[in-house]
Amino acid sequence: MLPGDGGPVVDADADALAESAGVDLLGALEQCGATGAVGEATLLPLTVGGRPTPVFFVGVGEQRPVDLRRAGATLARAAKDHDSLATSIPAGAPDGSLEPFVVGMMLGSFVFHLRSDGPKQSPVARVVLTGFDDADDRAPELVRAVAVGGSGWLARTLATVPANLKSPAWLAEQASGLAAREGLEVTVWDEHELAKRGMGGLVAVGRASATPPRLVRLDYAPASAGRRTPTVVLVGKGITFDSGGLSIKPGESMSTMKRDMTGAGVVIAVLGALARVRCPVRVVGLVAAAENAVSGDSMRPGDVIRHYGGRTTEVTNTDAEGRLVLADAMAYAAADLKPAVIVDVATLTGAMKVALGQRVGGLFANDDALAEALLAAGQTSGEPLWRFPLVSDYEEKLSSKVADADNAAGGAGAITAALFLQHFAGDVPWAHLDIASVGDSPDERYEWTEGPTGFGTRVLLEWLSSDDPLAGVR
């Protein structure tokens, strides 16, 4: 349905439906107050071919990609608990509408439950896309759309699993299973290997937990990869539960901390979709997984830890642990993997949520071309980012009397956290996605479902599937 000056305008498919049902659809919709605005779904119970048939009319607004994505999500919610659904919406929309519509439908359908009697609502079991004269030509577009939507669904699922099930070892198992299914190489380092290799941040953060830390490496290479194919490294924060450690969080602040591994979930989900979106570069995903718990062997304020490569950090706040595990993984990437770019993803700072609310993610970068590429990908994919400055004047806040840096510099909290991480990227072009602002959705809103969001999969897949993700990057 399209918006009209005096009410809804019904498309040609709907005209055929009206003739079959013997109903004045336009008049019926006007009586229902339908306008064709995005987010609007009107149900008309019709009789088609002698059979009662519920028909949804969904507003598509101006038919921009964002409108089609939201229309897909609106339809998905309206059609829950139905066995099947046929829709002609993307066929009647402009070119390029299929992917956002399908992604919106998939993510708007997201459910997660551990109830003994099943979910309160179930997604529509089967969706048929009708009206395409060039269905065979659209098949690659549909494969890509399902890969993008499925990646978001997986990241959201991983972030929603409760922490009594989701240990660092469990997260490594999920990554290993995905690697086997998708033909990726996988390496897992346990706590002994981490200590042997000098990854002091992961060891220190994870040592208080009954479930020790892990570093997971996933490797993807395109079919056409050669010696000159560049490598992008994605690093995900994988804190499977964050109590705050000895600098313990208030109780109400812990309620969402099962999703403090969203960055790791995003990296795992993105690696699993790269082949289907035809990513042209090599990608290494690093998952730095640990539980920040409390015990007699907890990391203490005042401790000094040594990261991979030798840089040291004084711990003045054990609740600033995410940057400690990211630092090891980033230092390893910069020193050993010869990356063209490093991008880390993390629910890192509460300051980002204060700055941006819960609908936009934060971006820092030391390379303008990389920043612009990610900003554009965020706008196109429906996961918007806002760039923040790496203010060099704040470097003095990182100073420590006994180590190379303090892990809790305070002040402009999101910026000082990014400055802390920048040292571990070395001379490599680097971007930092602080998604603490969007780690949870406060309510149901189009493709966002209440709870953990898995934010980051779409923006990274949009960027990595472009013809030249590294264009202009120095």
Under 8 Å between Cβ of 416 and 388 = no
Report the candidate in 325, 348, 285 with the shortest Cα–Cα distance to residue 151.
285
Tokens of 123: 């997604």
Residue 474, Cβ neighbours under 10 Å: how many? Answer: 9
Distance CA 413, CA 314 (A): 17
Catalytic one of 217, 276, 306, 323 = 323
Tokens of 8: 């809804």
458 catalytic per annotation:
no
On the 0-12 / 13-18 / 19+ scale of CB atoms within 10 A, 84 is exposed
323 catalytic per annotation:
yes
Catalytic one of 138, 249, 359, 387 = 249
Residue 157, Cβ neighbours under 10 Å: how many? Answer: 17
Distance CA 452, CA 460 (A): 18
Residue 390 identity (one-letter amino acid) = L
Determine the 3-state secondary structure of 212 from DSSP. Answer: coil
* Max Cα-Cα span within the chain: 82
Q: What is the DSSP letter of 207?
A: T
Distance CA 186, CA 178 (A): 9
Backbone angles phi, psi at 36, to 5 degrees: 90, 10
Whole-Å CA distances, 424 to 317, 351, 354, 419: 19, 21, 26, 10
Residue 392, Cβ neighbours under 10 Å: how many? Answer: 9
Tokens of 466: 């472009």
Distance CA 275, CA 465 (A): 9
Annotated active-site positions, please?
249, 323
